[in-house]
Structure 1
Amino acid sequence: MQYSKYMKWFAVAATIGMLLILLGGALVTKTDSGMGCGRNWPDCNGSLIPKEITTEVLIEFSHRVVTGAVSFLILILTVWSWRVLGHIREVKFLSFMALFFLIAQALIGAAQVLWGQGDFILALHFGISLISFAAVLLLTLIIFEVDQKFDADKVIIGNTLKRHTIGVTIYSYLVVYTGALVRHTNASLICPDWPLCNNKDIGLPANFYEWVQMGHRFAAGLIFVWILFIAIHAIKHYKEQRVLYWGWIIALIIVSLQVLAGMAVVLSRLNILLALLHSLLITLLFGLLCYMILLLSRSRQNQKSN
């Protein structure tokens, strides 16, 4: 149908827009541009459009413009999908989650600009945006009828894979939080080596910043091992269900690249492109894991109907 075609393009635009919000927020943090517009919000340094353009102003103001524009896209997509696809039970929930968490991340960003916040609160900012991205991504996949194309509406998932899918998805959010905490506590370069903080001096971290950095590395290493285990399990037992088989293989590839990107960020002394790639990969991984959670819902429906 004609409206379906337009909705697909709109959903893609909203998904790309959310990705730009996430990467823009990461860029603001990594370049210390958060105060580029001063203690002013929604205006920038006292003007609706900044009069003096510095690098920090450009990065922060661009992030605000993108966030505002994408917010309208997601609002329209939410209402549109609610009306047209409301009969699909996940659509209303995902629409609400996308809009709610987008507003939440915008308010946290505004609160930081106006009043300032602690590092542990700020570290939630990226994670909240991530939930909104995942909700928009899943809406997009539903609109594109990915379930039917990959027979995802026929999956049957065993208890072992169910438990690990839920566990690793929840745990991935902890990994995201520890990574954001590394950035917000300025602990990114506290450890000069990899994989240890100092490869010549093996021992426990010596201060808070080293604990934050090494805690994130340990968390990232554990999620790699966990997804490796799940991927092996899926390859052995779910070869006939290609959405699960290939889904977990792709998850393993992404998490492997994520580990390599993290290493490259440290060894390159925080190269900005590598750092943004690091953020992009965890975003894609979290979105894929959330889709795997959606498949659990499909599996329960299929088991009831059998």
Structure 2
Amino acid sequence: MKVKLFLLLGILFTYLVMVWGGLVRTTDSGLACPSWPLCYGDFSIPKDLSAKLEMGHRTISGLAGVFVLLSFIYVWRQYKGLPKLTSAIALFFTLSAAFTGMRMIKEETPHLKHLSHMFIESFHIYESMLVLFGLVLTYRFLYSQRWTRGSIPLWAYAFAIATMLTGVLVRYTGSGEACGHEWPTCNGYLIPPMEDWRVALQFIHRNLAYTTWLAFLIVFLADRNRITLITFLLINLQFVFAISMVLSGFFTPLVFLDTASGFFLFVWLTYHVNLSLGSKREVRLAW
């Protein structure tokens, strides 16, 4: 029971870290705390709202790290096989994300002045996604009754992940408004000029999103069940938030909802993707 509890808490707090991090980014609060890991180098509570947001993000990140570490220890003590690998992935990228977070403050990457800043910010989100990926798969390997036969085909999952990864790049390279506040057009064009790499990135992301929507429509029509239906509804909800966010000029509550629904969709898809890696008995060998 301890392993299950720590895994669930790790998943929950890692998800909150990612959503809260999106809020920090949206409100430009990333550098509100000048020191790391404490805001002002001591345990004083920040008075400024931006600093409170940033310190809250760090606090939740610390709690997430504790639960990832505890789940790793218990999994490695009690199980063999794939759960040990996926829990190790979660721990490795938790430590990596902590180092990257420190580097972001030292180099003031939230200002996005250079391409290196944009790369570090984007990589930081990818690290968190890998932590979540490792935790969700560990939980699935240990407790799902049908972990080898999820309802989401791997090819559809790959399209969704590609859309999410390019979405992160759009967000953290400042390309979100490269097409203006338009949809489905981009600066007045259905196929815009690609001289500006930000426009090209935004255009690629949008077309990957369209392809992902079509992929999950095909999945639902080919295998109509509760999981594929919920998945298709979640895909559509994500579309609604993303389009509304663009048309509203990136209204903060809509940006928050887009971020929260996107990472929830990532968890859902990872839990339900079809994996064929052998029998559950081969993976979950008790101590």
TM range (shorter): 0.7 to 0.9
Per-residue CA distance 1:251-279 (angstroms, 9 max, x = gap): 21211111111001112221222222212
- Output the CA distance in 1 between the equivalents of 2:226 and 2:277: 19
Counterpart in 2 of 1:179? Answer: 167
SS in 2 for 1:189: coil
SS in 1 for 2:36: coil
User: Cα distance, 1:79 vs. partner?
Assistant: 0.9
TM-aligned CA distance change 1:105 to 1:172, over 3 Å: farther
TM-aligned CA distance change 1:293 to 1:154, over 3 Å: closer
Structure 1 counterpart of 2:232, from 252, 258, 264: 252
User: Cα distance, 1:92 vs. partner?
Assistant: 0.5
Per-residue CA distance 1:202-233 (angstroms, 9 max, x = gap): 44146333223222211211111112222222
Structure 1 counterpart of 2:96, from 87, 100, 104: 104
TM-aligned CA distance change 1:175 to 1:51, over 3 Å: same
Give the TM-score normalised by structure 1: 0.79
What is the identity, as a one-letter code, of the residue corresponding to 1:146?
A: S
TM-aligned CA distance change 1:50 to 1:300, over 3 Å: closer
- Output the CA distance in 2 between the equivalents of 1:196 and 1:278: 20
- Output the CA distance in 2 between the equivalents of 1:216 and 1:50: 42
Counterpart in 1 of 2:43? Answer: 49
What is the identity, as a one-letter code, of the residue corresponding to 2:183?
A: W
- Output the CA distance in 2 between the equivalents of 1:289 and 1:211: 27
TM-aligned CA distance change 1:98 to 1:204, over 3 Å: same
Counterpart in 1 of 2:144? Answer: 146
User: Would you tell me which structure has more helix in proportion to its own residues?
Assistant: 1
Counterpart in 2 of 1:169? Answer: 157
* 1:137 pairs with 2:131: no
TM-aligned CA distance change 1:80 to 1:212, over 3 Å: same
Q: Are 1:123 and 1:181, in contact at CA under 8 Å, matched by a contact in 2?
A: yes
Counterpart in 2 of 1:210? Answer: 199
Counterpart in 2 of 1:287? Answer: 267
SS in 2 for 1:118: helix
Counterpart in 2 of 1:241? Answer: none
Give the TM-score normalised by structure 2: 0.84
- Output the CA distance in 1 between the equivalents of 2:148 and 2:158: 25
- Output the CA distance in 1 between the equivalents of 2:58 and 2:268: 27
Q: Are 2:148 and 2:276, in contact at CA under 8 Å, matched by a contact in 1?
A: no
Counterpart in 1 of 2:66? Answer: 72
- Output the CA distance in 2 between the equivalents of 1:114 and 1:76: 29
Structure 1 counterpart of 2:56, from 62, 81, 84: 62
User: Cα distance, 1:59 vs. partner?
Assistant: 1.2
Q: Are 1:37 and 1:44, in contact at CA under 8 Å, matched by a contact in 2?
A: yes
TM-aligned CA distance change 1:79 to 1:111, over 3 Å: same
User: Cα distance, 1:64 vs. partner?
Assistant: 0.9
User: Cα distance, 1:137 vs. partner?
Assistant: 2.2
- Give 5+ residue unaligned stretches, structure 1: 236-244
SS in 2 for 1:296: coil
Which structure has more relative contact order (CA 8 Å, sep 6+)? It is 2
Q: Are 1:23 and 1:280, in contact at CA under 8 Å, matched by a contact in 2?
A: yes
Per-residue CA distance 1:97-147 (angstroms, 9 max, x = gap): 11111222222221111124431332122122112112212333445x331
- Output the CA distance in 2 between the equivalents of 1:71 and 1:256: 32
SS in 1 for 2:32: coil
Structure 2 counterpart of 1:276, from 250, 256, 264: 256
* 1:29 pairs with 2:25: yes
SS in 2 for 1:75: helix
SS in 2 for 1:49: coil
What is the identity, as a one-letter code, of the residue corresponding to 2:37?
A: P
What is the identity, as a one-letter code, of the residue corresponding to 1:10?
A: F
- Output the CA distance in 2 between the equivalents of 1:172 and 1:121: 22
SS in 1 for 2:28: coil
Q: Are 1:168 and 1:227, in contact at CA under 8 Å, matched by a contact in 2?
A: yes
User: Cα distance, 1:52 vs. partner?
Assistant: 4.7
Per-residue CA distance 1:184-210 (angstroms, 9 max, x = gap): 2223233211111245x5441463332
* 1:15 pairs with 2:11: yes
TM-aligned CA distance change 1:42 to 1:300, over 3 Å: closer
Identity across the alignment (%): 23
